[in-house]
Amino acid sequence: MRTHQGLFAGIFGRGGVDTGDEAWLQALLDTEAALARALERAGLAEPGAGATVTAAAQAEAFDAAGLGRQAALTGNPVPALVRELTRMVPPDAAGAVHKGATSQDIIDTAAMLLARQALSAIAADLSAAASAAAVLAATHRDTLMIGRTLLQQAVPVTFGLVAAGWLTSLDDGREAVARVRAGRLAVQFGGAAGTLASLGGDGQRVAGLLADELGLARPVLPWHTDRLRVLDVAGAAAGVAAMLGKAARDITLLAQSEVAEVREGDGAGTGSRSTGSQGGARGGSSAMPHKRNPVGAIALLGCTRQVPGLLATLAAAAEQEHQRAAGAWHAEWEPFSDLLRLTGSAASWGAELLAGLEVDPARMRQNLDDARGLPLAEHVASLLGPALGPIAAHDLVAQASALAAGTGQQLRDSLLGTPEIRQRLDEAGIAPEQVESALDPAGYLGSAGDFVDAALAAHAAVHARLAPDRW
């Protein structure tokens, strides 16, 4: 399924989310067909009218571009669509087309149908991405690497903990998507001003039957100018995009030539292979053969960086006047579609990116060792604290660290090879073996392993709750 055709579709329109013109058109037609069936069930349309309208309501029989041009006359494409659909059915079924509805009812309900399909596709790719992150977390539970804060080296962590961080955020995103899909997608049916006046006393019953036909929730009342449902969908998608973007950003940083702790797989077999101008593995460069560009992470970030602006537009449009907005409702259609499409594309990239990620534990250890023990200064200070007092311990380790940084030697050598510092250690009863132990990064990981285990256990529970066959 391709949601977005054109030059940039391979980056911004991959995955299973479809919010293109044909998908929109079919969702509009599905809504009109469901309304005809609901009216027939309510006894307000001729027997067989629902089936007749449903048979005619096929997107391939309509000219989407032509309907779009006619939309300029009425402010939306539904009136033109209704005229075409009415002409396509016999007179005895024509009365079931659009009866009791207003254009916003059809477009908003269609948007909910598109959101349902989109959230399902996003959830499937998120599940795959989370499963891949879980494999990385389990495999590298104890793989040492340097932690980085404010883009500077900090204290040791494990790559398993990094992957577990991705995992928990992806699972949180999956649960948010599931909540919105299960509880916030509702039919819209209020007629001209939210009263269903044209249906007399049958309005509520038809609304319930319409919701039943489409498998959407029936709201307490029409939500023409209450746009929280739209924002809930958009917010869940934007949260997912942010979490996918965080993982992709980490990967771009860890894949830098000077770091080289991870690299992407080649993306083979995905149907979205991107090569250098002379061919070869994805991410290669014919002009700079030493490069291995993280194309998947870059493309993912290209998707997610657009999402906040789209969410902001939808939030700004949510303030709508009286019973029908003058422009704000119209402002939702394209940003809503684009936000779902881009989030879906990002999720598709994320599933591939994490499944194919190549990790280099040896390089991680090398980068950690190249820090010459300085990231363990905090651990050494905690060792000396009971004997010297916290301030004196801090000052002594700071002196040794400054010496190591200035001379390029190991912190161990500054502590044990500098006479005045060694004398202070001896006087405090600190043996060289204790210093050596304090400088072992594997001994200063705190609860890292336990955190990974907890993330994996939580993931197993989320996966059981959100099994695809329960959607």
Helices (H) and strands (E) in the chain, counts: 20, 4
- Return the DSSP state at 224: T
The Cα 235–Cα 115 span in angstroms is 12
Rg of the chain in Å (alpha carbons): 30
What ranges in 260-389 are assigned the alpha helix state H?
Answer: 295-304, 307-317, 333-355, 361-369, 377-388
The Cα 56–Cα 47 span in angstroms is 16
CA separation (Å) from 92 to 1, 29, 36, 78, 89?
A: 37, 19, 12, 21, 8
The Cα 435–Cα 415 span in angstroms is 8
Contact 354, 166 (CB under 8 A): yes
- Return the DSSP state at 284: -
Residue 370 neighbours by CB under 8 Å, 6+ apart: none
Contact 262, 360 (CB under 8 A): yes
CB burial string 206-219: b at 16+ within 10 A, e below: bbbbbbebbebebb
HSE of 379, CA atoms in CB hemisphere, 13 A: 22
The Cα 201–Cα 158 span in angstroms is 65
The Cα 414–Cα 423 span in angstroms is 12
The catalytic site residues sit at: 285, 324
Does this model's pTM top 0.85? My answer is yes
What ranges in 16-102 are assigned the alpha helix state H?
Answer: 21-41, 49-56, 64-74, 78-87, 91-94
What ranges in 88-158 are assigned the alpha helix state H?
Answer: 91-94, 103-139
CA separation (Å) from 422 to 374, 396, 433?
A: 17, 10, 13
The Cα 230–Cα 318 span in angstroms is 8
Contact 180, 232 (CB under 8 A): yes
The Cα 273–Cα 14 span in angstroms is 12
DSSP 3-state assignment of 145? strand
Chain Cα centroid distance, residue 83? 39
The Cα 363–Cα 253 span in angstroms is 14
- Return the DSSP state at 140: T
Backbone phi, psi, residue 114, to 5°: -65, -40
The Cα 83–Cα 74 span in angstroms is 12
For tokens 């043996």, what's the residue?
A: 431
Contact 227, 318 (CB under 8 A): yes
pLDDT, tens digit only, all 471 positions of the chain: 445 678 999 999 999 999 999 999 999 999 999 999 999 999 999 999 999 999 999 999 999 999 999 999 999 999 999 999 999 999 999 999 999 999 999 999 999 999 999 999 999 999 999 999 999 999 999 999 999 999 999 999 999 999 999 999 999 999 999 999 999 999 999 999 999 999 999 999 999 999 999 999 999 999 999 999 999 999 999 999 999 999 999 999 999 999 999 999 986 544 333 333 344 556 655 565 666 799 999 999 999 999 999 999 999 999 999 999 999 999 999 999 999 999 999 999 999 999 999 999 999 999 999 999 999 999 999 999 999 999 999 999 999 999 999 999 999 999 999 999 999 999 999 999 999 999 999 999 999 999 999 999 999 999 999 976 455
